Amino acid sequence: MSKRPLVFVVMDGVGLSTKDYGNAVNRAYKPHLDKFMKESPMIQIKAHGTAVGLPSDDDMGNSEVGHNALGCGQIYSQGAKLVNESIETGDIFTSETWNELVDNAQQSTMHFIGLLSDGNVHSNIAHLKALIAQAKKQGVKHVRIHALLDGRDVPARSGDIYVKDLEDFMVSLNDDNFSAKIASGGGRMKVTMDRYDADWAMVELGWKTHVLGEGRQFTSALEAIETYRNEFDVNDQFMDAFVIAENGEPVGKIMDGDSVILFNFRGDRALELSRAFEEENFSRFERKKVNVKFAGMLQYDGDLQIPAKFLVAPPRIKNTMSEYLVAKNIKQYAISETQKFGHVTYFWNGNRTEKFDDNLETFVEVTSDLVPFEQRPWMKSAEITDLLIEAIEKGEHDFYRINFPNGDMVGHTGDFLATVIGVESVDLQIGRIKKVVDKVNGILVLTADHGNADEMFEKSKDPNATPKPKTAHTLNPVPFIVLNEDVTFKQGEFGLANVASTLVELMGFEPNPVWEESMISKK
């Protein structure tokens, strides 16, 4: 093999669009990336839809499925597609877990907690409706929904639309023997949906809201949304917690003997709440454990078996790039900050928490700041680069993979100027990385896992209207750039799953035959 180290950088959320409207990538001053895209071998690749295992090309990609595809070189049915297939075949309703929770709720309450939207990144309202309808069909009499508002994978202030849709659906089912109601909720970036142990206070607030019924009371979720918008001018994802009450009493506290299903299918923001329900020796916040039957839509961590019960089996990803390189005795170094650390480790390694080889794999996490990303859009890019440069100069590894979260995490805030700075921050660090890669005669490869910063405004028919922030991912392609190596790209359409073969070819190996083909022509 080539003895040259390969450094692989994921510029999270940096997609490519020819349109300038709301395009923070184009607006950013990024001399290094602009130079590389102009002068070095580059191809645009797909990072959404069927290319990453999602149901259709109308589905936005995300960091989780993106890193799965990057790390395994294959296309597996993912998230929404897995659940869709299980609902369509009816397998989800014949599962042991579903029927155990339904049976348990016959004389109590079935609770559903999750993100209320059709963004298809963490959840889909259609899945929730199917679960509610089937619960009634199987004799459950009381259903309560704990609805987390999105405003991130869907328009920033669309929560009322999804709440109204769900309430209309429940009205069509409710009768003398069946009662379904929204019981609590709040914005996804403020209540419940923390990830990577970054802010357990969010989960504690969710516990108090959903389980204990503590918090500001309203007569309906629509009233809560309207009130918070009027009082705080806040987008859905940052909305405060709310509790629905009748005569001063919460309509849906989670009680001993109830059943609880977390209907999100994506794992990163579902793990912590699952732990709060399941762990016996739980210490993240003061919690009075409730004796319930709990399950997730999927098992969010197969190695740690979180949760213990789940409705749909996740993809069992085999033949990952890490496994392949370990078999070749190649030393690997993975680094990011907390917000994306799991992506270059857990998701890259095929939804596996543990390393394949402790001696050959080094994982480095830089702790993220607990501040709104728009306030520090540079995030931890400099610290990541400092440690990476130190590792490259030591020369102890052969393959380095890095994720810079800025384009995605700052992009999700909807703050255009902050996102521009985030992209510029990444470009500055890429310039530093290029110098050290040149110094060690290495190869540098740049790509992204999906778009986000490339479309920051919702389109409006009124040219005089104030631009509305767009916080969701995009359907745009991402760059794939090879530096310090003269390569020729094949003709055709490629996606993230073609990256693994391409990288190992650059390292001098023959790709695993089960992977999608390499994008470069052999010399």
Give the 3-state secondary structure of 291-334. CCEEEEEECCECCCCECCCEEECCCCCCCCHHHHHHHCCCCEEE
SS3 of residue 365 by DSSP: strand
Instruction: Report the run of H or E that residue 228 belongs to, with start and end.
Output: helix 221-232
Instruction: Supply the pTM of this predicted model.
Output: 0.79
Residue 246 has pLDDT above 70, yes or no: yes
DSSP state of 241: P
Q: Which residues are catalytic?
A: 63
Segment 272-301 shows an average pLDDT of 95
Q: Was domain 6-77+316-506 assigned CATH 3.40.720.10? A: yes
> Please, where in the chain does CATH 3.40.1450.10 lie?
80-312
DSSP state of 64: H
Q: Is 427 exposed, middle or buried (0-12, 13-18, 19+ CB in 10 A)?
A: buried
Give Cα separations from 182 to 57, 176, 237 (angstroms). Answer: 32, 18, 18
The position carrying tokens 């390694």 is 349
Identify which has the larger pLDDT, 79 or 490. 490
Query: Of 50-59, 108-117, 317-326, 481-490, which gets the smallest average pLDDT?
Result: 50-59
Neighbours of 399 (CB within 10 A): 23
Calpha distance 153→159 (Å, rounded) = 11
Least Cα distance to 325 among 5, 51, 43 occurs for: 5
Q: Is 492 exposed, middle or buried (0-12, 13-18, 19+ CB in 10 A)?
A: exposed
CB 348 within 8 A of CB 71: yes
- Two tokens, residue 480: 């794939």
Calpha distance 22→41 (Å, rounded) = 27
> Please, where in the chain does CATH 3.40.720.10 lie?
6-77+316-506
DSSP state of 404: E
Residue 416 has pLDDT above 80, yes or no: yes
Residue 1 has pLDDT above 50, yes or no: no
Give Cα separations from 126 to 8, 20, 161, 205 (angstroms). Answer: 38, 34, 14, 26
Segment 192-201 shows an average pLDDT of 92
Give Cα separations from 177 to 66, 330, 409 (angstroms). Answer: 44, 62, 45
Q: How confident is the model at residue 314 (pLDDT cuts 50, 70, 90)?
A: confident
Residues in contact with 43: Cβ distance below 8 Å, sequence separation at least 6, in sequence order = 479, 480, 489, 494, 519
Least Cα distance to 152 among 372, 473, 478, 460 occurs for: 473
Residue 407 has pLDDT above 50, yes or no: yes
Residue 276 has pLDDT above 50, yes or no: yes
**How confident is the model at residue 303, as a pLDDT?**
56
pLDDT in tens, 361-389: 999 999 999 999 999 999 999 999 999 99
Identify which has the larger pLDDT, 134 or 300. 134
Domain 80-312 superfamily per CATH: BPG-independent phosphoglycerate mutase, domain B (3.40.1450.10)
Segment 179-184 shows an average pLDDT of 98
Strand order in the sheet with 399-404: 42-45, 478-483, 443-447, 6-11, 399-404, 332-337, 361-366
Residue 485 has pLDDT above 70, yes or no: yes
AA identity, residue 89: T
SS3 of residue 199 by DSSP: coil
Segment 351-365 shows an average pLDDT of 95
Q: How confident is the model at residue 94 (pLDDT cuts 50, 70, 90)?
A: very high
The position carrying tokens 């929404």 is 80
CB 452 within 8 A of CB 411: yes
Specify the length of the chain in residues.
523
Q: How confident is the model at residue 458 (pLDDT cuts 50, 70, 90)?
A: confident
Neighbours of 249 (CB within 10 A): 10
Query: Of 28-37, 79-88, 454-463, which gets the smallest average pLDDT?
Result: 454-463
Segment 336-365 shows an average pLDDT of 95
